[in-house]
Amino acid sequence: MTDSIQSSNDEVHNPSLSIAHSVAEMQAQFEHLHALSRSQPINDWATREIQLDHLEIMLSDNQDIFANAISADFGYRSESETQFAELFPSFTGISHAKKHGKKWMKAQRAPISALYMPAHNEILPQPLGVVGIMVPWNYPLFLAIGPMIDALTAGNRVMIKMSEAAPRFAQMFADAIAHYFSPDMVCVVVGEVDMAVAFSELPFDHLLYTGSTAVGKKIMAAAAPNLTPVTLELGGKSPVIVLNEANLESVVNRVMMGKTLNAGQTCIAPDYVLLQRQHHKEFIHLAKEWMAKHYPNIENNPDYSRIINGEQFTRVQGYLSGIQKADIHALTDVEVDIETRLMPPMIVTEPADDSEVMQNELFAPILPLVHYDTIDDAVQFVNSRPRPLALYVFGERYNDIEKVRNDTVSGGLCINEVIMHAAQHDLPFGGVGDSGTGAYHGKAGFERLSHMKPVFVQTKINGMNLLLPPYGGLFKKAMALFLK
């Protein structure tokens, strides 16, 4: 690893200070970054752009190393998937921030009531200080880099807690950060759950966590004593509503792409499909054809990833244990392999509403098909459950699509597509309700990780003295006019 990393940072520093392996080291580095954030706020674009340059060079120099480390943590993860789902959005995110960041950080005029003119209003973005980022295991590169882009563009210093479930990548990433960034800017924390708990209890200026809803509640509770503002990017069950006139072949093509990416281990993967019952058989048939075309010989196919560890594999198998075999439709001829953690995709038809596959986020290549009769029924089905991180609707009729768009609430929405909204740097990405709070990516992320300070600028000549006591006749006439 060290042979392949060449520092792009001209500053002389001790790389070990950029990595924390213990709670004591983590607390010491936090105090160091916090003090710097107060004494040396990063208010210039040149410094921010240099940090983004370092990030871009680090990624470019270590693409293969990062992909190999992630694959090792998974038991096997397709290098192409890492390129597509992690490296590509990271590079484009950096490019987008470098293109727009200088403009974002400038004070912007804001409207003002004519009653206060000739004064004017401004909004001045300022760095928060130290931003904490807690990274999950399913996309450990992009879900570290994406928040980093927003934090650095906003002029913050950063601490990152890597996932203990992806330890090889965590150490590789920490080593890379230590060689490309000054410990005055970025620190990476590696370690087990106890380190994550202590990390969440630090008094960050903002804490961004990506992971499960259950853990998200604990993160919010840990942040509360410090009044640390949080962005929680959680998960849940992201539904697909297939309207009756939709082209089913096109639906299957997009849904199966989203479900098989990273073997279903994606927070915005299609979780279940609402589909009228007469289309179930055709959907399954088309899904089998799709698998044969896109993942032939799946047990040896270099494009298909594995379930990350035995704990996750056992969890998913437990979900299936309560389902009748007749309702489980394998989409390939290959059996589940416990030893290699290979889980071929399968469809579950009409699972009971209280079954685990319908109550829990699947995070696996399992796709329930659920029957609905009318669009109102489908909308009600979604609305009666916790609000999802993403919702996908397929159809052709404008009015039907608009009904789903307007009558449901979800973190994000795709029409005749899945997942791709998360790759749009000009769209905010985030959840609502149980699927999260706050949004980031692009300008939304810059503003989320900035203090958008309101500024009122008074002029020498103004009428404010007319509003001072003693309140005379002119004041009373003005109030009578204003309060009509």
CB of 235 closer than 8 Å to CB of 267: yes
Residue type at 299 in one-letter notation: E
pLDDT at 12 over 70: no
Of the residues 201, 267, 361, 414, which is catalytic? 267
15-234+437-453: CATH topology: Aldehyde Dehydrogenase; Chain A, domain 1 (3.40.605)
pLDDT digits (tens, 9 = 90+) for 285-295: 999 999 999 99
pLDDT digits (tens, 9 = 90+) for 204-232: 999 999 999 999 999 999 999 999 999 99
Of the residues 233, 361, 414, 447, which is catalytic? 233
Q: Phi/psi at 439 (nearest 5 deg)? A: -145, 155
239-430: CATH topology: Aldehyde Dehydrogenase; Chain A, domain 2 (3.40.309)
Name the average pLDDT for the chain: 95
Q: Give the global pTM.
A: 0.94
Domain spans in the chain, listed from the N-terminal domain onward: 15-234+437-453, 239-430
Angle (CA) 94-140-52 rounded to 5° is: 20
**72, HSE (Cβ side, Cα atoms, 13 Å):** 12
Decide the pairing of beta strands 120-127 and 450-457: antiparallel
CB of 29 closer than 8 Å to CB of 68: no
Specify the pLDDT at position 287. 98
Q: Does the annotation count 414 as an active-site position?
A: no
Q: Which residues contact 375 (CB under 8 A, 6 or more apart)?
A: 243, 400, 403, 404
The percentage of the chain sitting over the pLDDT mark of 90, rounded to a whole number, equals 90
Q: Which residues contact 341 (CB under 8 A, 6 or more apart)?
A: 75, 306, 307, 308, 309, 310, 313
CA distance 173 to 341: 25
Give all strands (DSSP E) within 44-138, no chain letters: 108-110, 120-127, 130-134
Q: Does the annotation count 233 as an active-site position?
A: yes
pLDDT digits (tens, 9 = 90+) for 74-101: 999 999 999 999 999 999 999 999 999 9
pLDDT digits (tens, 9 = 90+) for 445-458: 999 999 999 999 99
pLDDT digits (tens, 9 = 90+) for 248-263: 999 999 999 999 999 9
